[in-house]
Structure 1
Amino acid sequence: MEKQVPEIKGQLRNHMIELPTVIRQSTGIKIFGKRLKSFLFSTDVAVIRNTNADAVIAVYPFTPQPVITQALLLAADVPVFCGVGGGITTGKRVVNLALDAEFKGAMGIVVNSPTPNEVISKIRDTIDIPIIVTVVSEYEDIRSRIESGATIINVSGGKDTSRIVRNIRAKYPDFPIMATGGPTDQSILETIKAGANAITYTPPSTADILNEIMERYRKQYEDESI
């Protein structure tokens, strides 16, 4: 018999972004004693503050800056995994950003797909927190990533994600894998069955959420005027 889980909600924080419950079917990844199954993909501090995700993966398409890392860590009430570059930003700067993120309290750091293996090795020699390496293609050399010091593989392969996860899992049955789950429960479950231990979820934008609320307000006024 399924056990009943008591749930407590506040009056003001009742409206929040709740991740698909199907994600709970994943095994999760245990990091520093915390079992993490769901990762919210966002750098919006308002969204980060109003979600039930287990953790936040904060990667953005600009040169990483310590002040942004500090703001994200200050806003979050769950573990944060910070992007430190590896594509546009590379070399010693990535290593320094990774060390800064660790000092500021990040639970882990994330490097982009183009990051050279020698940079990953230098990061591994410098920090103690996990290194998440993003994989976007089935043709990437996963073995060299692992040997260079990757702690977790993060698969972001679009429509090919589940296939990439399945291929990696076949070769590395015990290595931690997280992956984008896609927009539906079915696509998330498919990714989990392919071998992903945890799922990253992209929430709707604050503009979309606000638009939905405004539409509801407008409808309320229309109903009252009838």
Structure 2
Amino acid sequence: MENKKIPSKYVPEVTSNLRKNFVKVPEEIADCSGIRIFGKRIKSFIFTTDVAIIKNTNADAVIAVYPFTPHPAITQAILSVSDIPVICGVGGGLTHGTRSANIALHAEFQGAIGVVLNAPAPNETIQHVKEQIDIPVIITVVSELTDIGEKLEAGADIINVSGGAATVRIVEKIRKEYPDIPIIATGGPNKESILQTIRAGANCITYTPPTNSELFKEKMKLYRELENDKFYGENENKE
């Protein structure tokens, strides 16, 4: 009996009836190189603070950044639920300086593998946070005009590009000037935009999943269709 040749990149998958329904990141993300953080290779970050989604995703890690003042209780809640590594926001806008450093230190103690400072973070805050913790400091960049050299000199370990429609251009510019700096970037709205971002030089892709309500809407639509089919099927049998 001749053995069938198995493709070199064939990956067996094991799941169960209760765990086969989860939020999948786009397959195109597999084309990026990834970044090794404490020995773990990470290619995909899921951008959410929804603990139900965090518990049910195949992403490599979580980027937990939200539009409110960072609070240790939120970080603790996310880390207590997550089965995958988490990097979390520690300010950079209204929250900075000593407060950001304290929140970052708490995040490290809770188990975060990195902290994210938002685009407005002063270089002094980056430096202050870097001096307090032993996990990577990730700086969000939203413009081509950002002085990346100053951010790196202040202590940034990883650049997180979130420039909307300009993301690909920003990534290209940073990669040209700094060939070896780790870059995380938003992948955009579709598969092609993800591939463009990777080709531009992004090592990791951030994926924004559908919201809980959007996912549940599809689930309820299916349940209604099943219920209708069951009702009409039973009545046809009676006739």
Q: Same fold (TM over 0.5)?
A: yes
Query: 1:90 Cα shift?
Result: 1.4
Match of 1:177 among 183, 192, 205: 183
Select the structure of larger CA radius of gyration.
Answer: 2
Q: Supply the distance in 1 between the matched residues of 2:211 and 2:108 (Cα, whole angstroms).
A: 28
Query: 1:216 Cα shift?
Result: 0.9
Q: Supply the distance in 1 between the matched residues of 2:109 and 2:223 (Cα, whole angstroms).
A: 44
Match of 2:100 among 84, 94, 101: 94
Matched with 2:144 is 138
Match of 1:222 among 208, 213, 228: 228
Q: Supply the distance in 2 between the matched residues of 1:120 and 1:14 (Cα, whole angstroms).
A: 41
Matched with 1:159 is 165
Q: Supply the distance in 2 between the matched residues of 1:149 and 1:85 (Cα, whole angstroms).
A: 16
With the length of structure 1 as denominator, give the TM-score of the two structures: 0.98
Deviations 1:171-226 (A, max 9, x none): 00010001000121100000000000000000000000000111111122222333
Matched with 2:65 is 59
Say if 2:97 and 2:128, in contact at 8 Å, map to a contact too: no
Over the matched positions of the two proteins, sequence identity in percent amounts to 58
Please state whether the residue corresponding to 1:43 is helix, strand or coil: coil
Q: Supply the distance in 2 between the matched residues of 1:37 and 1:174 (Cα, whole angstroms).
A: 16
Match of 2:212 among 196, 206, 209: 206
Matched with 1:128 is 134
Please state whether the residue corresponding to 1:208 is helix, strand or coil: helix
Q: Report the AA paired with residue 100 of structure 1.
A: H
Q: Report the AA paired with residue 56 of structure 1.
A: V
Q: Flag structure 1 segments of 5+ consecutive residues without an equivalent.
A: none
Q: Tell me how many residue pairs correspond in the alignment.
A: 226
Q: Report the AA paired with residue 123 of structure 2.
A: N
Alpha-carbon RMSD across the aligned residues, in angstroms, is: 0.9
Q: Report the AA paired with residue 190 of structure 1.
A: Q
Matched with 1:43 is 49
Query: 1:109 Cα shift?
Result: 0.3
The within-5 A match list for 1:96-111 is 96-111=102-117
Find out whether 1:9 has 2:38 as its counterpart. Answer: no
The within-5 A match list for 1:68-87 is 68-87=74-93
Query: 1:4 Cα shift?
Result: 1.9
